[in-house]
């Protein structure tokens, strides 16, 4: 269920950021209110995802996918420039998220070590 909450958090964050752009500096009431609603729901959903996920993994996926989606929305909806530099930058963010998730395997050993340190292992 944590992955569902994380996906929901990503979509809500993208909706909040899009609403921020549409609010034109918080000068348009409806997009401004929607921005706050989306961000409150986003962080609530992210917090539920963090109950069962590592914070580094969740945050990397949340920020990386959110950044990539916002860049795409910027190009398609807001007619932002589509440059090679932008494509490479977004690709590097995604690669960084993947590498962070792959890690060095230490995260798989931490729970066992934490149990051992707490005297919870059956030796």
What's the confidence (pLDDT) of residue 28?
98
Assess whether pLDDT exceeds 70 at residue 103.
no
pTM greater than 0.85: no
Burial 25-38 (b: 16+ CB within 10 A, else e): eeeeeebbebbeeb
| DSSP per position, the chain | -HHHHHHHHHHHHHHHHHHHHHTTTTTSHHHHHHHHHHHHHHHHHHHHHTTTS-HHHHHHHHHHHHHHHHHHHHHHTS-----HHHHHHHHHHHHHHHHHHHTTSHHHHHHHHHHHHTT-S--
Interaxial angle between packed helices 2-22 and 55-76, expressed in degrees from 0 to 180 and rounded to the nearest 10: 40
Query: Is the separation of the CB atoms in 119 and 113 below 8 Å?
Result: no
* Cα–Cα distance measured from residue 60 to residue 100, given in angstroms and rounded to the nearest whole number: 7
What's the confidence (pLDDT) of residue 119?
55
Question: In this predicted model, what pLDDT tens digit does every residue of 47-87 receive, in sequence order?
Answer: 999 999 999 889 988 988 999 999 999 999 999 998 999 89
What's the confidence (pLDDT) of residue 101?
72
């Amino acid at each position: 269920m944590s992955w569902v909450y994380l996906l929901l958090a990503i979509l809500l964050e993208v909706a909040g950021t899009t609403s921020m752009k549409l609010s034109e500096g918080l000068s348009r009431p409806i997009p401004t209110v929607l921005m706050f609603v989306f961000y409150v729901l986003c962080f609530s959903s992210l917090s539920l995802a963090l109950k069962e996920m590592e914070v580094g993994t969740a945050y990397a996926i949340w920020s990386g996918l959110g950044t990539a989606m916002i860049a795409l929305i910027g190009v398609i909806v807001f007619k932002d420039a589509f440059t090679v530099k932008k494509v490479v930058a977004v690709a590097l963010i995604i690669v960084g998220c993947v590498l962070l998730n792959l890690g060095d395997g230490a995260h798989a050993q931490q729970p066992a070590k934490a149990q051992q340190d707490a005297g919870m292992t059956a030796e």
